[in-house]
Structure 1
Amino acid sequence: MAVSRSDLLAWLNELLQLNYTKIEQCGTGGAYCQILDSIYGDLPMARVKMNAKHEYEFVANFKVMQNVFKAKKIDKPIPIEKLVKCKMQDNLEFLQWMKRFWDSNYGGQGYDAVGRRRGAPAEPPATIAPLSTGARSASAALGVGRSGGKTPISGHRAGSTQPNEAMQALQTQLREMSTHMEGLEKERDFYFAKLRDIEILVQQQTETLESQGKEDDNLKEIQKILYSTEDGFEVPENAAVDEEETF
């Protein structure tokens, strides 16, 4: 029988000494990793980022978990692409499976959750919220869109805290946008570096084979994918090309 959301959260918070308030917060991957660690006690918790904020960090946590599944021969696919979106239903189904797995494999030994994660924050992870949320807050503070509102923004009543609230909401929105953009840039650089490493390895192997009068169709297909373009992403004909970079 499926365990309810409230019961799952109560179990998770008690086992791992966390303060999660929503199932979807498990989408960061940290809690799932530590559930496994409570069973086996040998998961590399130093590589798990419990306070992950960006999707590429969530993916890194799940990669750690994936390695444990492989090492322990756990025959269960991990739907990483769905879980990292922090949707409630996807994470509810996976957490229910994790609870059943834990019930079947936990040996009853004591578990120092805080010690194992070396005192990493136990507060609920702040998953990235849509930027429109902050925009709506700012609009509400400014009184935009209220039916029947006749007081101009600059003509607030004496004693009103409306402008101050509006400024705070806009500053919050700006911080959210800045954090979001920083995360996207890090994620872009993370995957670009991987592609660049692949390109170099393929190029080196291709040159080695060519010097031996050989070729590899698989390498040619990989290069074809690496150098393919789509509408809107073509390199301009007159653009300067960095001799060391091929992307």
Structure 2
Amino acid sequence: MATNIGMMDSAYFVGRNEILTWINDRLHLNLSRVEEAASGAVQCQMLDMTFPGVVPMHKVNFDAKNEYEMIQNYKVLQDVFNKLKITKPLEISRLVKGRPLDNLEFLQWLKRFCDSINGGIMNENYNPVERRSRGGKERSVKGSNKMPKSLQTNNNHPPPNSSSVGLTKASGPKPAKAAEVQALSKELTDLKLSTDLLEKERDFYFSKLRDVELLCQTPELEDLPIVVAVKKILYATDANESALEDAQEYLNQSLGVEAEGNGELEEEEEEKTQAEAVTNNNTE
């Protein structure tokens, strides 16, 4: 069971659209952004589909909006990780912030992990909508099209009193609200631009790492100590520890052996020179 996947694994080159399609097709959702899965509920249900009966779905809150509610979902997910002996660390404090890159990387890992269990084949006997339902009441999931019962009631039975009708006719954003909406729209646009720049920068550095990896795989170079040291860093799977120290230790040991060998050659040359000098003196 592959639980730790290195950052150079092909899993981390899967795009957002493919991840969203994977989630929406399997769970019958309509997510448009990866950060909509920041609550942890989607991740719990993906593991519920992959390992039926392991996830206590009645504890998963699909309506989670606040961080403390999301954290409860991730606690459920952590318990499932422990049951399945999954050693990947859950960086909950980062995931609940809803940052696109953090959530994308986690979902990329999740897809790679689930595909390694079932070969990417969808469980046709799994009913995701039914599994999200408890006690006859289906919980709403962001991206679903189900209308809350309270809204259905209001639509089917509009209030008859004149004051309510007057409020309906006067509906519309007030000037202060309109300014707030405009400010939020501008902030959203700025955030999208920032996200696009971050993704371009990420792709740039990933391409650099990929070039380094291909160079390290050259048959004439792959056994050189410096290349082996670089590959130790590239293929490190522990996200909490740096592989630099291990690579440096290996490199120092390799260079130390070479230095010792060079020292022996120098000593042999020096002894040979001294022997020749003694021979010449005796001859004279």
Compute the TM-score of the two structures, normalised by the length of structure 2. 0.45
Does the Cα contact within 8 Å between 1:26 and 1:91 map onto a contact in 2? yes
Structure 2 CA distance for aligned equivalents of residues 96 and 59 of structure 1: 20
Deviation at 1:169, TM superposition (A): 4.4
Matching residue of 1:116: 131
24, 29, 41: which one pairs with 2:40? 29
Find the residue that maps to 2:61 and give its secondary structure. coil
Does the Cα contact within 8 Å between 2:26 and 2:122 map onto a contact in 1? no
98, 102, 105: which one pairs with 1:93? 105
Find the residue that maps to 2:38 and give its secondary structure. helix
Structure with a larger share of its residues in helix: 2
Structure 1 CA distance for aligned equivalents of residues 94 and 87 of structure 2: 18
What pairs with 1:1-247 in structure 2 (closer than 5 Å)?
1=10, 2-42=13-53, 43-106=55-118, 108-110=122-124, 111-118=126-133, 119-124=138-143, 164-166=173-175, 169=178
The Cα RMSD (Å) is 2.6
Deviation at 1:120, TM superposition (A): 1.8
Deviation at 1:123, TM superposition (A): 2.8
Does the Cα contact within 8 Å between 1:17 and 1:122 map onto a contact in 2? no
Does the Cα contact within 8 Å between 1:114 and 1:120 map onto a contact in 2? no
Structure 2 CA distance for aligned equivalents of residues 52 and 22 of structure 1: 16
Structure 2 CA distance for aligned equivalents of residues 122 and 13 of structure 1: 12
Does the Cα contact within 8 Å between 1:21 and 1:124 map onto a contact in 2? yes
Matching residue of 2:192: none
Bigger Rg, which one? 2
Give ranges in structure 1 of 5+ residues lacking alignment.
126-160, 173-247
Aligned partner letter, 2:143: P
- 1 or 2 for the larger relative contact order (CA 8 Å, sep ≥6)? 2
Q: Which runs of 4+ in 1 moved over 6 A?
A: none
Structure 2 CA distance for aligned equivalents of residues 170 and 120 of structure 1: 34
Does the Cα contact within 8 Å between 1:27 and 1:84 map onto a contact in 2? yes
Identity of aligned residues (%): 40
Compute the TM-score of the two structures, normalised by the length of structure 1. 0.51
Structure 2 CA distance for aligned equivalents of residues 164 and 33 of structure 1: 38
Deviation at 1:122, TM superposition (A): 3.1
**CA displacement 1:34-66 (0-9 Å, x = unmatched):** 111011111111100112110000000000000
Q: Aligned residue pairs: how many?
A: 137
Aligned partner letter, 1:71: K
Does the Cα contact within 8 Å between 1:9 and 1:21 map onto a contact in 2? yes
